[in-house]
Amino acid sequence: MAKESTTNERMEKIVSLTKRRGFIFQSSEIYGGINGFWDYGPLGADLKRNLRDTWWRAMTREREDVLGLDASIILHPAIWKASGHVDTFSDPMSDCLVTKKRFRSDHVELQSGTLYRWTGAQDLSGKSSSEPFSVLLAAGKPPESARKVAQLYYAQRGLETPELLGETTEKLENSRAFNPDNGAQLTDPVPFNLMFHTFVGATAGENDKAYLRPETAQAIFVQFKNVADSTRIKVPFGICQIGKAFRNEVTPRNFTFRSREFEQMELEFFIAPDEAIQLIHGQVAQWSESADLTNPQPDWGWEMWHRYWVKQRTDYYARIGLSAEVLDYYWQTPSELAHYARACVDILFKFPFGTEELEGIAARGDFDLSQHQKHSGKPLEVFDDELRAAAVKLSDEQKTAFIATVVADWEKRQKSTEEATGFAERLLKGFYLPHVIEPSAGLDRLTLAIIANAFTEVEKTDPKGKIETLTVLRFHPRIAPVKVGVFPLLKNKPELVAKARAVYDLLKPYLATFYDDGGSIGKRYARQDEIGTPFCLTIDFDSIGENGPELLDTVTLRHRDDARQERVKISDLLGLLLPQVA
Ligand code: GAP
């Protein structure tokens, strides 16, 4: 019987299991740990690798239109200026005026209560402070507790046993301006740039400052031309990359969910602008709820491609065991969208601590390539033969009308006539900067989601009637770190051990296999269930022909999720198991 546990309890159990069984450890633990950094133990490393492989395979091996890249972590610093990260990649930060605890201002939980304000304080020695201070007191708490916090504040300013002055109160609702732990006022939010920096070379001057990449995407944009030219691939096509990213998060939290070092899996899918599709095909396919998103069509514009990638990514999650019930979607409203973006949807997972972002899929227009073209001075446009051929067929009047339509359309989006005309004229010559659809996922978040999704507690009654709670990680076989457990029934029977070893040797080159001869078979099943091994094989006396020739060279195959057992020929094992994990 599956057992339910409350949200926090569940998260605590997950954190504890991942440490106990070697999935995730706190980084630098013996030195007290380092906030926002995590290490993956033997099983975590394999789980993460399997996830990474499924993504890479879905993006590259199973497609003709996406190519891989593995770029450096430290890039030319001008890239981060062009991308906007140097100037705007920041989170608002506030400090508690009493404890100095740091908060990400927009993540402080909303609070209501009575606001106590003081105009200042003085002490018996005549020392005074005229700095105003306030405390938000939650309903039901005694006013004295607010005054104590204020006295602490003034004591830190050198007053001994401060007497508070000019106290006033008022009701306050839904404020993020106070420390939820003690009600003390927080400093006004200040932007804090999230990029880690370092210095390249021995001189280490300001001119040598470089950044650890905060996303893998920018390297894809700046290598776009090299990839296109070296492979001769044509738009629409994508470049994908998996790699480390670094963000000096103000408040890392929720285990690995928000870390300071993490891995991203990003695709930049380059498409022709809608205006080019219109010129070539005479129309741009319109998205509707009933649109067929299975096979990309030549007349797709950005919206169909965006919807297509949302579906592709949802299908991917289903393939690794994250079904529609555990996912959700958040479509950014027009006022939330970045100025250059046409649409952005977050794919969310229902984590034990809340429904939170797993991946963002943005339609980014040509913002990134145009920024890099401008800042590097290098042309990043592509030439499209089909577009040129379509433009050549137009009369001068038709060309003028086309330019006028583009200008009118762009003006609606607050773009200048000059910009729109320049773009339309380049199109008529066959050139454009590709637009981008960007599905960007976090590998560490996905690993955590996969563990949380798999985590199940099962109550079992032993032969003596005692009920115990066992943990089962119901990983999809495709991503489970260990695929098969192999057990000789007894470890002191050489024939059983030899046969079990032979089975292990047979499977090991093809499947992550674990050999275990310790304890009862039940205990061995339980140990494998706890790490999510989908299949266990027991080699018993039937396997070595002690009970007749019919069952010689067969084993018991036990399935993790329903404890079903079946008898399988050793020679059939690979054929049976391999398709289930592929
Ligand atoms: N290039 C777009 C980009 O980087 P993002 O929404 O900032 O977009 C994409 O990041 C994904 O990277 C997120 O959906 C999340 O899965 C992951 N991610 C971002 N910050 C993270 C952090 N501090 N810790 C773990 N994963 C993070």
- Alpha helices (runs of H) in 429-546, residue ranges in sequence order: 443-454, 494-507, 521-531
Smallest CA-to-CA distance from 33 within 264, 353, 259 is with: 259
| Rounded distance from Cα 262 to ligand 1 centre (Å) | 8
Does the pLDDT at position 176 exceed 80? yes
Residue 29: partners with Cβ closer than 8 Å, 6 or more residues away: none
Smallest CA-to-CA distance from 433 within 371, 524, 479, 492 is with: 371
62: number of Cβ within 10 Å: 9
**Which of 357, 364, 436, 438 is the best mutation target for the ligand 1 pocket, counting ligand atoms within 8 Å of the beta carbon and taking the most?**
357
| Rounded distance from Cα 93 to ligand 1 centre (Å) | 19
pLDDT recorded at residue 414: 84
pTM for the predicted model, two decimal places: 0.92
- Model pLDDT for residues 394-450, shown as the tens digit of each residue: 999 999 999 999 999 999 888 899 999 999 999 999 999 999 999 999 999 999 999
The tokens for 117 are 């304000």
Which residue has a Cα nearest atom 12 of ligand 1? 442
pLDDT recorded at residue 5: 65
User: Which atom from ligand 1 is nearest to the alpha carbon of 266?
Assistant: 1
The answer to whether 397 touches 414, Cβ cutoff 8 Å, is no
How confident is the model over 541-554, as a mean pLDDT? 95
Which residue has a Cα nearest atom 21 of ligand 1? 258
The pLDDT > 90 percentage for the chain reads 94
| Rounded distance from Cα 559 to ligand 1 centre (Å) | 36
User: Which atom from ligand 1 is nearest to the alpha carbon of 216?
Assistant: 1
Does the pLDDT at position 1 exceed 60? no
- Model pLDDT for residues 24-46, shown as the tens digit of each residue: 999 999 999 999 999 999 999 99
- Model pLDDT for residues 453-493, shown as the tens digit of each residue: 999 999 988 878 899 999 999 999 999 999 999 999 999 99
Residue 482: partners with Cβ closer than 8 Å, 6 or more residues away: 43, 46, 512, 513, 514, 528, 531, 532, 533
Structure confidence at residue 205 as a pLDDT band (50, 70, 90): confident
- At 146, which amino acid appears? A
Which residue has a Cα nearest atom 26 of ligand 1? 442
The answer to whether 347 touches 359, Cβ cutoff 8 Å, is yes
Does the pLDDT at position 207 exceed 90? no
Residue 359: partners with Cβ closer than 8 Å, 6 or more residues away: 313, 346, 347, 439, 440, 441, 442, 446
**Which of 440, 446, 450 is the best mutation target for the ligand 1 pocket, counting ligand atoms within 8 Å of the beta carbon and taking the most?**
440
236 prior amide bond cis, ω within 30: yes
Q: Which residues line ligand 1 (CB under 6 A)?
A: 215, 217, 247, 249, 258-259, 262, 264, 266, 357-360, 440-442, 444-445
Strand pairing class (163-165; 197-199): unpaired
The answer to whether 507 touches 456, Cβ cutoff 8 Å, is no
- Model pLDDT for residues 260-270, shown as the tens digit of each residue: 999 999 999 99
| Rounded distance from Cα 264 to ligand 1 centre (Å) | 7
pLDDT recorded at residue 374: 97
Smallest CA-to-CA distance from 215 within 368, 26, 338, 334 is with: 368
pLDDT recorded at residue 2: 58
What is the Cα–Cα distance from 160 to 208, expressed in whole angstroms?
Answer: 48
| Rounded distance from Cα 441 to ligand 1 centre (Å) | 6
Residue at token pair 């498409």: 271
The answer to whether 269 touches 310, Cβ cutoff 8 Å, is no
Q: What is residue 10's DSSP assignment? A: H
SS (H, E, C) 214-275: CCCHHHHHHCHHHHHHHHCCCCCEEEEEEEEEECCCCCCECCCCECCEEEEEEEEEEECCHH
